[in-house]
Structure 1
């Protein structure tokens, strides 16, 4: 436990508040990492100093719940897989999946992101929560629906579940090629609404946030909303894989979206 620390800033959303559930969409402020990882890098898969990453993750849990609680994050693989969590991973190694669900109090579920969509779920009435990492592969593959199904298996009711998409790359900043668009059209021709003409011929701007929120709404949830924050455009607030790629930087940090039952 860090005896003296400054709480890290984070964003909350009214749809997830109350009922003994704490949540936060954290950004890149409030940690001790340096350089390209400045400064609340919580990505254990990055090449940052692991001592800094572990310190930052402790800052996050103490900020969110006021204590040093187990922080459970998946080994993310852009899959639709959601696992039920009852405590820390065996041997301290993360399981390969992209979403988590629990009814266990006093643990913190979190997913990492750096442009992909971090989605937090809560059924406060039945005290079931979930967290999903939803890039385009996970979203089209069903990670959102898998998370809801696991929550229902734990006693949640979908018409009581609220879901909030946190900081995600916006359509303005997400340029894709024709093959990318074709993948979505082959899945469902109606997906054309999520693509706007790009500045370059044969390129398009993809609306990942609207695609995720619409898929959530199609599940019949109580609420499904986006915080409206763009990871690419808000450089001082968030890490962005695409921004790092455009600058040809060697690596990038990850922010976490976290939720816990008290």
Structure 2
């Protein structure tokens, strides 16, 4: 499904599926172009203990069967139980894996590339979901009016490495944009969704990291001496690349302030599950 102009981005908490799992999503976007974006929380799954309960990460020593059931529950709740899901091995880098075919062989190849290490998945076809996992880092989903989308993982290294801008530009190229001016023009029509992440109130960094952010994104992303606003840094870089500031939608939720609702690596002392950012286009 293609639309000329996406509706203004908006995130609402909606109970989804038979289990009424609460997720942040944009229903108007789904109605307009068939793309479902969702940010999960930690409630509604089967994991136990420090991973309770909707842990989607396989790398945190949780019971693998529980994680797979949780992932299945999320897709069922979103109305796409049979949709194949690509999940990368996130490495805090800037590698983007393109998914341009829904054939079984191509999806296996894409999953292998993603498992080799990637921090964004760019999906050009319907019927394939991208899932990335988080516990303080910043989830970013970018959607084109063509129905193409990118789901990206922006830790502080990824923000400094411009993972969000690179993802948006990759999307523009997939849409057929050529040259800087056309890429910028495309970016102006994309919706950007920024999910729950650690906010500046808790994200204190070393002086070298703070200096890097100040130099690259300006003083507005530094709060106090060494507290970094990932949101301000992402917004600054995306707008500079051509994204319309009015099309950047922030969930407005700090994970460390809300450890009962979202996983927080810092709040938990390093042992916790992972919530997710997931997107797909209906087939």
Q: Taking structure 1 as the reference length, what is the TM-score of the superposition?
A: 0.87
**1:175-220: CA deviations, max 9, x gaps?**
22322212324x43x52221122xxxxx522111221122222222
1:1-262 matches, cutoff 5 A: 6-13=19-26, 16-17=29-30, 18-85=32-99, 86-87=101-102, 88-90=107-109, 93=112, 94-124=115-145, 126-155=146-175, 157-185=186-214, 187-188=215-216, 191-197=218-224, 204-222=226-244, 223-245=247-269, 251-262=271-282
Contact 1:102 1:154 in 2 (8 A): no
* Gap regions ≥5 residues in structure 1: 198-202
Say what the alpha-carbon RMSD is for the aligned residues: 2.0
Contact 2:97 2:122 in 1 (8 A): yes
Aligned equivalents of 2:46, 2:272: Cα separation in 1: 15
Aligned equivalents of 1:151, 1:209: Cα separation in 2: 21
The alignment partner of 1:9 has SS state of strand
Q: Which deviates further from its counterpart, 228-237 or 204-213?
A: 204-213
Change (3 A) 1:21 1:154: same
Aligned equivalents of 2:28, 2:150: Cα separation in 1: 14
**1:60-107: CA deviations, max 9, x gaps?**
111123322111111101111111113434396424110011121111
**1:139-191: CA deviations, max 9, x gaps?**
11011122112211211632221111000111111122322212324x43x52
